[in-house]
Amino acid sequence: MSDCQKLFVPSHPLPAARTGLFTAFEPGTRTLKAGFQVAPPFRPLPVDIVFEKDVAVTLRDGVTIYVDVFRPAGTEQVPVIVAWSPYGKGQGTSASVMGVFGLVGLSNSVVSGLAKFEAPDPAYWCAQGYAICNPDVRGGVDSEGDSVLWDRQEGRDCHDLIEWLAEQSWCTGKVGMSGTSYLAVSQWFTAAEQPKHLAAINPWEGVSDVYRDLVMRGGMPDVGFAGLLQNGSFFGKNQKEDILSEAQRYPLINPLWADKIPEFDRITVPAFVVASYSNTLHTAGTFRGWRRIASADKWLRIHNSQEWPDYYDEANVEDLRRFFDRYLKDVDNGWEQTPRVRYAVHDFQGGDRLNVPAEAFPPKEVVSTKLYLDGGARTLSPTAPGAEVPATYDVGANPDVVSFIARFDQETVMVGYPKAHLWVEARGADDMDLFVLIQKLDKFGTPLQQFTAPNQSARIHDLTDHGATVLRYKGSDGRLRVSTRHLDEVLTTDDVPAHTFDRVETLSPGEIVAIEIDLLPLGWAFHPGEQLRFIISSRNLSGTLMPGIAEYTGANNGQHVIHTGGRYTSYLQLPILAG
């Protein structure tokens, strides 16, 4: 990797807002009694819990990391669940984590304050006969080494921790992993290392390809959230990986980026994957992971909300416990009869359907259906128009979009992967950054959107009008830099195009090229009279992933031409449920 070495910058100690009541380095063991409450907002402990703090674990290369272990009091051996992330293991009571719960409208009383951010809560799991291990990862807080961001190094490190845990006198030898976001991503990498004692994983919404999901989605250097992650999450004594400089230096796929894609075919442990259609950071990666892992025993549940309220929902926690009881405790509880897929169907007006059972995703009853773009009528039609009529816009003009509408005269349900197949031309430029969005419109033509978290206050409206897409679901989106249009022949399917991102093929004057754009999977219901609008633009139509991050501006100028009809059969392909 001489031409693509990792880059590092100095790390810094945890700021005050990220410091919790148990952040200070204080090795030792204590017992937290039933009824113990970390602080007034938090949930009291239901049982006595042994808290082993700042336990040293040495990794294969000699680096020492420190972990906190929470386990039920007593002598009975228990399985353990690992929550692997760079978010300090003592941050559960920090102002930062409490503020995030407030942002989404989640009460801090749903957790004990002992949980890592986005991780299982020891208060619940210890009462159910499990231990929880919260590590400070390599380079994090007091742990030694330089921290890295989402790659196979983390998989090796967590492998070593799992094997260490399995040998502890209090452990049965069975280890699981759970958590959302970063804690989900780390599970792909760890399971691919095949630690002997890893018995089950539970990735709950997480990126599965750093290049395609985080820093270069669609081949565009959109690093707003990567900057937030690098600068706001990796605190320690040494160095941290400089993903921002790496993205700038290495704009195409190379061995560094390949090292940040888990070896899906090596993931064989039982897996309970949880996803949503609406998380513009995690959705593509979660579904990719679900599709590509080799586990014979894998389940998928697709919900209709935001990951944190979903993760801590009581019914969902009980659902997860049944999975772990089966694979970490060998309880014969009938978990295997759980439908392999349970999906959601949004209707954006309060009539969502949840936990719809299926044997696969998309369901086997889905028919991939092409709706052709008509540049003259600006409609989507099941038959290709005969006349060649281009639809154009000038970059930076108002409007700088073209859109196409279909109206449904009967109940129509879509579940699966949409894609766009477009014939495009750049006039006055040799490249195009294209953004596409599928919206649902009511029968009066009004765009429908849906908040994904309990907080629907005035401030959340302000944050999400143009941005914070993880908190307000605006539709299924996709994007592509046209010069990176080359498809990966091995990974591309009829439903899901996959691009190699290993070459740049700019456009010549007058050149018209066919491109395929993958849009985020969806589950939508259209009632008679309701409409679908497909939008193509030179700018991001939904705004940023998170509040307060810089928005990417497409590298565009001149005029964009979308060719339709005749020789140029541009179409939107939709997964329509038959019957």
Same domain as 402, residue 278: no
Structure confidence at residue 84 (pLDDT): 98
Same domain as 296, residue 386: no
Which residue range forms the structural domain that includes residue 429?
366-577
Structure confidence at residue 354 (pLDDT): 98
Structure confidence at residue 2 (pLDDT): 47
Of 329, 345, 375, the last residue of a domain is 329
Per-residue pLDDT of 371-421, as tens digits, reads 999 999 999 999 999 999 999 999 999 999 999 999 999 999 999 999 999
Same domain as 281, residue 399: no
Same domain as 390, residue 319: no
Same domain as 230, residue 377: no
| 566 assigned to some structural domain | yes
Pairing of strands 78-82, 171-180: parallel
**Residue 462: both structure tokens together:** 């302000």
Same domain as 269, residue 381: no
H-assigned helices in 265-313: 283-292, 307-312
CATH of the domain at 296: 3.40.50.1820
Burial of 237 (0-12, 13-18, 19+ CB in 10 A): middle
Backbone phi, psi, residue 405, to 5°: -125, 140
3-state DSSP call for residue 29?
A: strand
Same domain as 398, residue 307: no
pLDDT tens per residue across all 579 residues of the chain: 447 899 999 999 999 999 999 999 999 999 999 999 999 999 999 999 999 999 999 999 999 999 999 999 999 999 999 999 999 999 999 999 999 999 999 999 999 999 999 999 999 999 999 999 999 999 999 999 999 999 999 999 999 999 999 999 999 999 999 999 999 999 999 999 999 999 999 999 999 999 999 999 999 999 999 999 999 999 999 999 999 999 999 999 999 999 999 999 999 999 999 999 999 999 999 999 999 999 999 999 999 999 999 999 999 999 999 999 999 999 999 999 999 999 999 999 999 999 999 999 999 999 999 999 999 999 999 999 999 999 999 999 999 999 999 999 999 999 999 999 999 999 999 999 999 999 999 999 999 999 999 999 999 999 999 888 999 999 999 999 999 999 999 999 999 999 999 999 999 999 999 999 999 999 999 999 999 999 999 999 988 888 888 899 999 999 999 999 999 999 999 999 997
CATH of the domain at 528: 2.60.120.260
| 140 assigned to some structural domain | yes
Structure confidence at residue 550 (pLDDT): 87
Report d(CA 516, CA 421) in Å as an integer: 5
Structure confidence at residue 1 (pLDDT): 40
Backbone phi, psi, residue 122, to 5°: -55, -30
| 293 assigned to some structural domain | yes
Of 267, 301, 329, the last residue of a domain is 329
* The pTM of the whole model exceeds 0.85: yes
Same domain as 81, residue 228: yes
Q: How many domains is the chain built from?
A: 2
Report d(CA 303, CA 305) in Å as an integer: 6
Same domain as 269, residue 414: no
| 227 assigned to some structural domain | yes
H-assigned helices in 193-313: 224-233, 243-249, 255-258, 283-292, 307-312
What does the DSSP 8-state code read for residue 13? P
Of 280, 313, 329, the last residue of a domain is 329
Same domain as 252, residue 141: yes
Same domain as 247, residue 394: no
Same domain as 307, residue 427: no
434, 479 contact by CB (below 8 A) = yes
Report d(CA 6, CA 219) in Å as an integer: 20
For residue 255, cis peptide bond before it (omega within 30 degrees of 0) = no
Structure confidence at residue 283 (pLDDT): 98
| 348 assigned to some structural domain | no
